Structure 1
Amino acid sequence: MKNTKLKPLLSWIDSSENSGFSLNNLPYGIAEIKPGKTIGVTRIGNQVVNLDELAQLQAFNGLHPELLHVFSQPILNYFIELGGEVHHELRLRLQQVFGAGNTNKQQIEAIKKSALVL
Protein backbone atom coordinates (compact mmCIF):
# COMPACT_ATOMS: atom_id res chain seq x y z
CA MET A 1 0.00 0.00 0.00
CA LYS A 2 1.30 3.41 -1.00
CA ASN A 3 2.04 5.95 1.76
CA THR A 4 -0.02 9.03 0.90
CA LYS A 5 0.93 11.12 3.93
CA LEU A 6 2.13 14.57 2.89
CA LYS A 7 5.60 15.66 3.87
CA PRO A 8 5.18 18.58 6.30
CA LEU A 9 5.94 21.95 4.74
CA LEU A 10 8.18 24.04 6.98
CA SER A 11 7.39 27.64 7.88
CA TRP A 12 9.29 30.59 9.26
CA ILE A 13 6.55 30.86 11.90
CA ASP A 14 7.74 29.13 15.07
CA SER A 15 6.00 25.89 16.08
CA SER A 16 4.01 25.56 12.87
CA GLU A 17 5.39 22.12 11.99
CA ASN A 18 4.40 20.72 15.41
CA SER A 19 0.89 22.10 15.23
CA GLY A 20 -2.27 20.68 13.76
CA PHE A 21 -2.17 23.82 11.63
CA SER A 22 0.94 23.53 9.50
CA LEU A 23 1.25 24.86 5.97
CA ASN A 24 -0.28 21.54 4.87
CA ASN A 25 -3.49 22.31 6.78
CA LEU A 26 -4.54 25.94 6.44
CA PRO A 27 -8.02 26.56 7.85
CA TYR A 28 -10.04 29.63 6.97
CA GLY A 29 -12.23 31.36 9.52
CA ILE A 30 -13.57 34.63 10.84
CA ALA A 31 -12.21 36.46 13.87
CA GLU A 32 -12.98 39.67 15.69
CA ILE A 33 -9.54 41.24 15.91
CA LYS A 34 -10.81 44.26 17.81
CA PRO A 35 -14.31 45.35 18.85
CA GLY A 36 -16.39 45.86 15.73
CA LYS A 37 -13.69 44.61 13.32
CA THR A 38 -14.38 41.07 12.08
CA ILE A 39 -12.20 39.76 9.24
CA GLY A 40 -11.09 36.60 7.45
CA VAL A 41 -8.17 34.75 9.01
CA THR A 42 -6.15 31.58 8.80
CA ARG A 43 -3.97 29.88 11.37
CA ILE A 44 -0.39 28.69 11.09
CA GLY A 45 0.98 27.03 14.18
CA ASN A 46 -0.12 29.15 17.14
CA GLN A 47 -0.43 32.30 15.02
CA VAL A 48 -3.64 33.75 13.66
CA VAL A 49 -3.02 35.48 10.33
CA ASN A 50 -5.13 38.48 9.31
CA LEU A 51 -5.87 37.72 5.64
CA ASP A 52 -7.29 41.19 5.01
CA GLU A 53 -4.04 42.79 6.16
CA LEU A 54 -2.06 40.27 4.11
CA ALA A 55 -4.02 41.35 1.04
CA GLN A 56 -3.24 45.01 1.84
CA LEU A 57 0.46 44.07 2.00
CA GLN A 58 0.06 42.92 -1.62
CA ALA A 59 0.79 39.27 -0.82
CA PHE A 60 -2.05 38.24 -3.15
CA ASN A 61 -0.90 40.29 -6.17
CA GLY A 62 -1.37 38.39 -9.40
CA LEU A 63 -4.16 36.23 -7.98
CA HIS A 64 -7.92 36.71 -8.44
CA PRO A 65 -8.61 40.45 -7.88
CA GLU A 66 -11.49 39.78 -5.45
CA LEU A 67 -8.96 38.36 -2.96
CA LEU A 68 -8.03 41.97 -2.24
CA HIS A 69 -11.48 42.54 -0.68
CA VAL A 70 -13.18 39.32 0.40
CA PHE A 71 -11.36 38.98 3.72
CA SER A 72 -12.45 42.42 4.92
CA GLN A 73 -15.99 41.00 5.17
CA PRO A 74 -17.40 39.53 8.42
CA ILE A 75 -18.37 36.32 6.57
CA LEU A 76 -16.53 33.89 4.27
CA ASN A 77 -19.40 33.54 1.78
CA TYR A 78 -17.77 35.80 -0.82
CA PHE A 79 -14.52 33.85 -0.60
CA ILE A 80 -16.36 30.53 -0.89
CA GLU A 81 -18.19 31.78 -3.99
CA LEU A 82 -14.85 32.32 -5.75
CA GLY A 83 -14.52 28.55 -6.12
CA GLY A 84 -11.96 25.82 -5.78
CA GLU A 85 -9.44 27.08 -8.32
CA VAL A 86 -9.08 30.41 -6.50
CA HIS A 87 -8.92 28.61 -3.13
CA HIS A 88 -6.11 26.41 -4.47
CA GLU A 89 -4.18 29.41 -5.83
CA LEU A 90 -4.50 31.18 -2.48
CA ARG A 91 -3.33 28.10 -0.56
CA LEU A 92 -0.25 27.84 -2.79
CA ARG A 93 0.50 31.55 -2.28
CA LEU A 94 0.14 31.26 1.50
CA GLN A 95 2.50 28.26 1.46
CA GLN A 96 4.98 30.34 -0.54
CA VAL A 97 4.71 33.45 1.65
CA PHE A 98 4.91 31.57 4.96
CA GLY A 99 7.26 28.83 3.77
CA ALA A 100 10.73 28.44 5.22
CA GLY A 101 12.11 29.12 1.74
CA ASN A 102 10.75 32.68 1.63
CA THR A 103 13.85 34.89 1.55
CA ASN A 104 11.98 38.20 1.21
CA LYS A 105 12.95 39.64 4.59
CA GLN A 106 11.10 42.90 3.96
CA GLN A 107 7.85 40.99 3.33
CA ILE A 108 8.35 38.78 6.39
CA GLU A 109 8.98 41.80 8.65
CA ALA A 110 5.90 43.61 7.30
CA ILE A 111 3.78 40.51 7.95
CA LYS A 112 5.16 40.11 11.47
CA LYS A 113 4.42 43.77 12.18
CA SER A 114 0.84 43.95 10.93
CA ALA A 115 -0.70 40.65 9.80
CA LEU A 116 0.01 38.30 12.72
CA VAL A 117 -2.78 38.66 15.25
CA LEU A 118 -1.55 36.39 18.05
Structure 2
Amino acid sequence: MAITNHSFDTYRVYHYNADNTYGQTAVVNCYSGSSFKGSLYFYKEGASVPASSKTGSGYLYLRFSEKQFNEIITTLREEKPLNMGFNDSNNWGWVSTSQEPVGEEES
Protein backbone atom coordinates (compact mmCIF):
# COMPACT_ATOMS: atom_id res chain seq x y z
CA MET A 1 0.00 0.00 0.00
CA ALA A 2 1.55 3.28 -1.11
CA ILE A 3 0.18 6.52 0.25
CA THR A 4 1.17 9.86 -1.26
CA ASN A 5 0.71 13.10 0.68
CA HIS A 6 1.37 16.60 -0.63
CA SER A 7 1.15 19.75 1.45
CA PHE A 8 -0.14 22.83 -0.35
CA ASP A 9 -0.47 26.50 0.53
CA THR A 10 -2.24 28.11 -2.43
CA TYR A 11 -5.08 27.16 -4.74
CA ARG A 12 -7.00 28.41 -7.77
CA VAL A 13 -10.71 27.68 -8.37
CA TYR A 14 -12.32 27.25 -11.79
CA HIS A 15 -16.13 27.05 -12.14
CA TYR A 16 -17.55 25.47 -15.29
CA ASN A 17 -20.85 25.98 -17.05
CA ALA A 18 -23.52 23.30 -17.29
CA ASP A 19 -22.44 22.32 -20.81
CA ASN A 20 -19.09 20.92 -19.66
CA THR A 21 -18.88 17.52 -21.38
CA TYR A 22 -16.71 16.02 -18.62
CA GLY A 23 -19.46 16.51 -16.01
CA GLN A 24 -17.33 18.77 -13.82
CA THR A 25 -18.82 21.80 -12.11
CA ALA A 26 -15.55 23.04 -10.59
CA VAL A 27 -11.83 22.29 -10.44
CA VAL A 28 -9.45 23.46 -7.71
CA ASN A 29 -5.74 23.39 -8.61
CA CYS A 30 -3.44 23.09 -5.57
CA TYR A 31 0.12 24.42 -5.31
CA SER A 32 3.01 24.46 -2.87
CA GLY A 33 4.51 27.84 -3.64
CA SER A 34 4.45 27.84 -7.45
CA SER A 35 4.79 24.04 -7.73
CA PHE A 36 1.62 22.26 -8.92
CA LYS A 37 0.64 19.34 -6.64
CA GLY A 38 -2.73 18.25 -8.00
CA SER A 39 -6.37 19.04 -8.64
CA LEU A 40 -9.70 18.55 -6.91
CA TYR A 41 -12.46 17.80 -9.42
CA PHE A 42 -16.12 18.27 -8.52
CA TYR A 43 -18.80 16.47 -10.56
CA LYS A 44 -22.45 17.31 -11.15
CA GLU A 45 -24.93 15.77 -8.75
CA GLY A 46 -26.11 12.47 -10.20
CA ALA A 47 -23.07 12.11 -12.49
CA SER A 48 -20.74 9.18 -12.12
CA VAL A 49 -17.64 10.29 -10.19
CA PRO A 50 -14.49 8.61 -11.59
CA ALA A 51 -11.91 7.17 -9.21
CA SER A 52 -9.17 9.46 -7.95
CA SER A 53 -5.72 8.90 -9.45
CA LYS A 54 -2.02 9.72 -9.32
CA THR A 55 0.16 10.41 -12.34
CA GLY A 56 3.65 9.03 -12.89
CA SER A 57 4.93 12.50 -11.96
CA GLY A 58 3.17 12.26 -8.58
CA TYR A 59 0.38 14.76 -9.30
CA LEU A 60 -2.87 13.89 -7.54
CA TYR A 61 -6.25 14.11 -9.28
CA LEU A 62 -8.89 13.77 -6.57
CA ARG A 63 -12.55 13.52 -7.53
CA PHE A 64 -15.62 14.45 -5.48
CA SER A 65 -19.35 15.04 -5.85
CA GLU A 66 -20.34 18.70 -6.13
CA LYS A 67 -22.22 18.16 -2.83
CA GLN A 68 -18.81 18.29 -1.12
CA PHE A 69 -17.64 21.53 -2.75
CA ASN A 70 -18.79 24.00 -0.05
CA GLU A 71 -17.42 21.84 2.74
CA ILE A 72 -14.02 21.45 1.07
CA ILE A 73 -13.70 25.08 -0.04
CA THR A 74 -14.47 26.17 3.55
CA THR A 75 -11.64 23.95 4.77
CA LEU A 76 -9.28 25.49 2.20
CA ARG A 77 -10.25 29.03 3.22
CA GLU A 78 -10.15 28.57 6.98
CA GLU A 79 -7.51 25.96 7.78
CA LYS A 80 -3.77 25.61 7.46
CA PRO A 81 -1.56 23.77 6.92
CA LEU A 82 -3.38 21.69 4.29
CA ASN A 83 -2.61 18.34 2.69
CA MET A 84 -3.95 16.28 -0.17
CA GLY A 85 -3.44 12.55 -0.18
CA PHE A 86 -3.95 9.41 -2.23
CA ASN A 87 -3.89 5.69 -1.43
CA ASP A 88 -2.71 3.58 -4.40
CA SER A 89 -4.27 0.36 -3.11
CA ASN A 90 -7.89 1.58 -3.21
CA ASN A 91 -7.74 4.86 -5.21
CA TRP A 92 -9.03 6.86 -2.25
CA GLY A 93 -8.16 10.55 -2.21
CA TRP A 94 -8.60 13.15 0.51
CA VAL A 95 -8.02 16.73 1.61
CA SER A 96 -6.96 17.14 5.23
CA THR A 97 -5.57 19.52 7.77
CA SER A 98 -2.43 18.75 9.71
CA GLN A 99 -2.72 17.78 13.34
CA GLU A 100 -4.22 20.66 15.34
CA PRO A 101 -4.62 21.26 19.07
CA VAL A 102 -8.10 20.71 20.52
CA GLY A 103 -10.00 23.99 20.85
CA GLU A 104 -7.67 25.91 18.55
CA GLU A 105 -9.30 29.01 17.12
CA GLU A 106 -8.13 30.35 13.79
CA SER A 107 -7.26 34.03 13.77
TM over 0.5: no
| TM-score computed with the length of structure 1 as normaliser | 0.32
Q: Which has the higher strand share?
A: 2
Q: Which has the higher helix share?
A: 1
| TM-score computed with the length of structure 2 as normaliser | 0.34
